[in-house]
């Protein structure tokens, strides 16, 4: 396969809104350089749910644990405490930009099961230009519905003019969906009554796929049999209706928690955990290519079963890889990953405890993003940053891909490009493996990758002024 394209041109502009993750106990991820950079330079200490938001150039704006709001300098913004999300809610918060407005952002929050969800689904509004550019919460704790479970997911409307805010009523089968447009939030919900009904615990993820066509919910039921249930439904991103649900009973000892769709929406990943180490903790894969009950149930595969690790929330990163929050009997300083979640089980490249947190620690949650922000789009250009507009002035060809030994690298530049070009290959942990400086007289090089271990690598090309870069994914076999 010939790899031809640009990192910036293979994504929708909102994908860069997911470039910064602040979560867990002092965990900060940044993908702004084109590879993962992990540190503990964050104020967050989130037991479960949290959310981050960046601008469309990938610069961090602010983040929240559902109770406090911090800006990019890690300072609590004006009026930025007590915004209504519970510290132990699975999906305590999500941040949504107000359409056609570059200053206002809505934070939607959920209460937790400890309060029986009585504080409900609420929203607060942040003006990022308030307080002389430090950010300000201008209204908070506006109730939309109560009682609510800890489930919260958001997707763009079909026409792209607004967002659907999806939640689930506690102890019933009712999904409550609210519409956010440039005019603000519509207080009249779209209500869809579906299969799984109470009594239930409030926890467990609910996730919309990036295309806005399906939603999955992990229900931790509190009936006498303790049979947890996975519900997979279709979603209408024009009307906000949840419909045609499939209910999948899981093993009685599996406390379902995390759900996450692959980028193409054809695979669903689900985590289960148990606090007793004698029980097995699992990650499942379901194939949704054929949307019928028998097909989905029969497609269930176990990726890992462990009594040493507990798997919780999961989320796609900007490269389409999937990361899993986890705890273990050994340490809480790493996450597990799947390199190719769109693939069938034998090709996903699951790696246990492969992403290190560099001073931070895992909790059960990962940042909650608008699912549409992670959608693939082949028609997008770079945005303007503080270093001037980045234009794609060089085109790169890398082949073959996958590659077993020798990688061909061709570059076509215009006369304005600044040489030399720095060619770097990083592993998924952000460690540099190969570096090469391409001179003005070179337009083809052959890189020897034989010494690299099999796996996924990121191929980065930067001009001499460090103002323009392209990033590509390559697979070493």
State the CB neighbour count (10 A cutoff) for residue 335.
28
> How many Å apart are CA 26 and CA 43, to the nearest integer?
6
Q: What is the mean pLDDT of residues 38-54?
A: 96
Q: What confidence tens digit (pLDDT) does each residue in 129-143 have?
A: 999 999 999 999 999
Tell if the pTM clears 0.85, that is, is over it. no
Q: What confidence tens digit (pLDDT) does each residue in 84-137 have?
A: 999 999 999 999 999 999 899 999 999 998 898 899 999 999 999 999 999 999
Q: For residue 6, what pLDDT is reported? A: 36
Q: For residue 378, what pLDDT is reported? A: 39
Q: What confidence tens digit (pLDDT) does each residue in 153-179 have?
A: 999 999 999 999 999 999 888 999 999
In the chain, what percentage of residues exceed pLDDT 90? 59
Is residue 136 within 8 Å of residue 77, measured between CB atoms?
yes
Q: Establish how many alpha carbons lie within 13 A of residue 302's alpha carbon, considering only the half-sphere containing its beta carbon.
A: 10
Beta-bridge mates of residue 403: 476
Q: What confidence tens digit (pLDDT) does each residue in 216-253 have?
A: 999 876 654 456 789 999 999 999 999 999 999 887 56
Q: In order of start, what are the domains of the chain with their CATH numbers?
A: 12-374 (2.120.10.30), 391-476 (2.60.40.10)
- φ, ψ for residue 25, nearest 5 deg: -100, 95
| HEC-encoded secondary structure of the chain | CCEECCCHHHECHHHHHHCEEEECECEEEECCCCCCEEECCCCCECCCCEEEEECCCCCEEEEECCCCEEECCCCECECCCCCCCCCCCCCCEEEEECCCCCCEEEEEECCCHHHCCCCCEEEEEEECCHHHHCCEEEEEEEEEECCEEEEEEEEECCCCCCEEEEEEECCCCEEEEEEEECCEECCCCEEEECCCCCCECCCCCEEECCCCCEEEEEECECCCCCCCEEEEEEECCCCCCEEEEEEEECCCCCEEEEEEECCCCCEEEEEEECCCCCCCEEEEEEECCCCCHHHHHHCCEEEEEECCEEEEEEEECCCCCEEEEEEECCCCCEEEEECCCCCCHHHCCEEEEEEECCCCECCCCCECCCHHHHCECCCCCCCEECCEECCCCEEEEEECCCECCEEEEEEEECCCCCCCEEEEEEECCCCEEEEEEECCCCCEEEEECCCCCCEEEEEEEECCCCCCEEEEEEEEC
Q: For the chain, how many residues are written?
A: 477
Q: What confidence tens digit (pLDDT) does each residue in 332-366 have?
A: 899 999 999 999 998 999 999 999 999 999 999 99
| Chain Cα centroid distance, residue 472 | 20
Decide if pLDDT at 373 tops 60. yes
How much is the mean pLDDT over the chain? 85
Band the pLDDT of 421: cuts 50, 70, 90: confident
Q: What confidence tens digit (pLDDT) does each residue in 433-475 have?
A: 988 887 766 667 788 898 888 888 887 887 766 555 667 778 8
Q: For residue 392, what pLDDT is reported? A: 44
Q: 45 vs 23, 311, 355, CA distance in Å? A: 7, 19, 19
Band the pLDDT of 278: cuts 50, 70, 90: low
Decide if pLDDT at 254 tops 80. no
Q: For residue 395, what pLDDT is reported? A: 61
Band the pLDDT of 33: cuts 50, 70, 90: confident
Measuring CA to CA, which residue among 116, 108, 121, 252 is closest to residue 175?
121
In the chain, what percentage of residues exceed pLDDT 70? 84
Band the pLDDT of 10: cuts 50, 70, 90: very low
> How many Å apart are CA 176 and CA 241, to the nearest integer?
9
Q: For residue 426, what pLDDT is reported? A: 86
Q: For residue 400, what pLDDT is reported? A: 80
State the CB neighbour count (10 A cutoff) for residue 200.
22
State the CB neighbour count (10 A cutoff) for residue 78.
18
Q: For residue 469, what pLDDT is reported? A: 63
Q: What is the mean pLDDT of residues 374-399?
A: 48
Band the pLDDT of 383: cuts 50, 70, 90: very low
Q: What confidence tens digit (pLDDT) does each residue in 53-79 have?
A: 999 888 999 999 999 999 999 999 999
Q: For residue 389, what pLDDT is reported? A: 31
Q: What is the mean pLDDT of residues 283-309?
A: 94
Q: For residue 13, what pLDDT is reported? A: 75
């Amino acid at each position: 396969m010939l790899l031809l394209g640009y990192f910036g041109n293979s994504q929708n502009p909102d994908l860069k809104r997911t470039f910064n993750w602040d979560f867990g106990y002092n965990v900060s991820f940044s993908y702004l350089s084109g590879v993962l950079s992990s540190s503990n330079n964050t104020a967050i200490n989130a037991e479960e749910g949290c959310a981050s938001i960046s601008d469309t150039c990938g610069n961090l704006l602010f983040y929240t644990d559902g109770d406090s709001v911090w800006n990019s300098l890690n300072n609590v913004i004006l009026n930025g405490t007590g915004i209504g999300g519970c510290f132990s809610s699975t999906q305590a918060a999500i941040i949504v930009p107000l359409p056609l407005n570059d200053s206002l952002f809505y934070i939607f929050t959920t209460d937790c099961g400890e309060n029986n969800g009585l504080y409900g689904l609420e929203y607060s509004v942040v003006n990022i230009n308030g307080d002389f550019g430090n950010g300000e919460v201008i209204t908070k704790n506006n109730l939309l519905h109560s009682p609510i479970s800890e489930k919260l997911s958001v997707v763009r409307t079909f026409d792209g003019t607004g967002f659907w805010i999806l939640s689930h009523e506690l102890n019933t089968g009712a999904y409550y969906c609210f519409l956010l447009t440039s005019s603000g939030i519509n207080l009249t919900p779209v209500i869809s009554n579906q299969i799984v009904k109470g009594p239930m615990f409030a926890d467990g993820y609910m996730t919309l796929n990036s295309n806005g066509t399906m939603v999955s919910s992990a229900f931790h039921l509190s009936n006498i049999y303790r049979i947890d249930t996975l519900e997979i439904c279709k979603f209408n991103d024009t009307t906000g209706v949840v419909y045609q649900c499939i209910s999948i009973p899981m093993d009685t000892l599996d406390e379902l928690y995390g759900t996450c769709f692959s980028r193409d929406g054809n695979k669903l990943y689900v985590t289960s955990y148990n606090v007793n180490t004698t029980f097995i903790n699992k990650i499942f894969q379901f194939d949704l290519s054929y949307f019928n009950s028998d097909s989905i149930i029969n497609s269930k595969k176990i990726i890992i079963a462990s009594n040493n690790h507990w798997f919780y929330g999961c989320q796609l990163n900007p490269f389409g890889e999937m990361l899993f929050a986890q705890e273990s009997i050994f340490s809480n300083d790493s996450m597990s990953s799947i390199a190719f979640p769109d693939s069938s089980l034998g090709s996903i490249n699951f790696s246990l405890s492969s992403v290190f947190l560099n001073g931070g620690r895992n909790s059960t949650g990962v940042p909650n993003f608008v699912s549409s922000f992670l959608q693939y789009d082949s028609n997008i250009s770079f945005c303007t940053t503080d270093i001037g507009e980045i234009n794609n002035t060089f085109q790169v060809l890398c082949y073959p891909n996958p590659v077993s030994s020798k990688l061909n690298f061709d570059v076509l530049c215009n006369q304005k490009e600044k040489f030399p070009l720095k060619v770097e290959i990083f592993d998924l942990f952000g460690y540099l493996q190969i570096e090469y400086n391409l001179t003005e007289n070179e337009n083809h090089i052959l890189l020897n990758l034989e010494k690299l271990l099999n796996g996924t690598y990121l191929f980065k090309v930067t001009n001499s002024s460090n103002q323009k870069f392209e990033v590509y994914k390559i697979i070493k076999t």
